[in-house]
Amino acid sequence: MGILGEIGLILAGLVVIVLAAELFTNGIEWLGQRLQLSEGVVGSVLAAVGTALPETLIPFVAVIFFGSKNGESVGIGAIAGAPFMLSTLTLGLCGLTVLLCSKSGGRPKELQINHVVIARDLRYFTAAYTIAMLAVLASPYIYVRYVIAIVLFLIYPIYVWKCFQHEGEVGETPEHLFLDRLFKCGSDKLRLIIPQIVLGLGGIIGGAFIFVDHVDDLAKDLGLPVVVLSLIITPIATELPEKINSVLWARQGKDTLALGNITGALVFQSCIPVAFGVGCTRWNLDAGTILTGIVAVVSGTIFMLLLKSNKLTAAHLTCGMLAYAVSIGSFVLVDYLDGGLEYLKPGEEAPSHHGSQAPMPTESKSIARGGSQLRYELPQPASLPHHVKLSAVEDVLKQAH
């Protein structure tokens, strides 16, 4: 397929995501209305878990089913990548959306948020992810890691209980449910709300799959540097559902839903997947992964303090994009100083390790198949690097075949 074909499919995937996100956000708002839930619960729990759950399956599948290859590395890369992206770039995009829409008169410039809800989310996130980063010190001690994993896992149900305990206002009545416009039986009917949410979520997953697959292919066809693909293009694409949902809500002035969708996902990602990573992998993070963790915690802490002092603005949120750019720039610089940027040739697969690390030692194997000898190489599990980007998921699946 040519470059124009790849671009066309990328745009098609993006259109599918946007349309599906409209279905999902509209359905989630009506579910909150039907159950009389506050905007904090709808954004921080229902929407956050709904959009984060599909990509959360990546580390579980990678570690459980492909651990003998480089599955553990892929799992850790996926686990650590989400909080970094959400706490910097995604919050920054929300802030940018508010600024742009307010200039066009589409919404007020001030953030219309429930400070208690968002500050609570950030408090749980920074606490849980700080514990996760400190768990690196317990990497050699498996039983200590088990205890830490249990603590992290238990934080999330406590957080959900706190969300439901908090008395917040039920959001304004949303626009008519999209499916109700077809069937004309009432927007508050669960028999329409649930199918619309499922349909929207399915569309988001399908569109994201098309988008990620062809963004990777286009990057390889253009011969972009490996670090650009693994650190910038693929992570942005895989976190696209949260970005689209939050941008749509921010555009409408529903800032508690917009930010809660992100901060709630931060709590979920720093508890459930991280607990799995700490307990079921060696959790021996490299310097790059630790750096992204520190940036995520510092970013969350700063936003939380600004919220508590009632000083958080959309301009402050956009600074998250700067933090993301500086962090990515440091990774690119490390790769460059490590011997120059490595470029992908058309059709070549991206390596599953960070550019500053040595290539993985391999063991050559051969099997008989169809009367001929098929030779292949497997990475040695004991020497696998631990900082693997989300684009390496493709490598794992292809090796499984």
Residue with structure tokens 């208690």?
Answer: 116
Confidence of residue 294 (pLDDT cuts 50, 70, 90): very high
Max Cα distance, the chain (Å): 72
Q: What is the pLDDT of residue 5?
A: 84
Q: What percent of the chain has pLDDT over 90?
A: 30
How far apart CA 131 and CA 145 sit, in angstroms, is: 11
For residue 19, is pLDDT > 50? yes
The residues, ordered by sequence, that sit 6+ positions from 219 with a Cβ below 8 Å of its Cβ are 228, 229, 233, 344
Q: What is the pLDDT of residue 299?
A: 96
Cα–Cα distances (Å) from 337 to 228, 329, 330, in that order, read: 15, 12, 10
Q: What is the pLDDT of residue 353?
A: 39
The residues, ordered by sequence, that sit 6+ positions from 194 with a Cβ below 8 Å of its Cβ are 27, 31
For residue 82, is pLDDT > 90? no
For residue 351, is pLDDT > 80? no
Tokens of 123: 């408090």
The residues, ordered by sequence, that sit 6+ positions from 271 with a Cβ below 8 Å of its Cβ are 124, 128, 152, 153, 155, 156, 159
Tokens of 320: 């998250």
Q: What is the pLDDT of residue 397?
A: 43
Q: Assign 3-state DSSP to the chain and report helix, strand, coil percentages, each to 5.
A: 70, 5, 25
Confidence of residue 302 (pLDDT cuts 50, 70, 90): very high
Domains (range + CATH), the chain: 3-400 (1.20.1420.30)
Q: What is the pLDDT of residue 341?
A: 55
| More confident call, 168 vs 392 | 168
Least confident segment among 54-63, 122-131, 338-347, 352-361: 352-361
Tokens of 66: 């492909």
Its sign, for the CA torsion 193, 194, 197, 202, is negative
Confidence of residue 355 (pLDDT cuts 50, 70, 90): very low
pLDDT digits (tens, 9 = 90+) for 192-223: 999 998 998 888 778 877 776 777 677 677 77
| More confident call, 401 vs 385 | 401
Task: Report residue 367: phi and psi, to 5°.
Answer: -135, 155
- Mean pLDDT value across residues 8-14: 83
For residue 131, is pLDDT > 60? yes
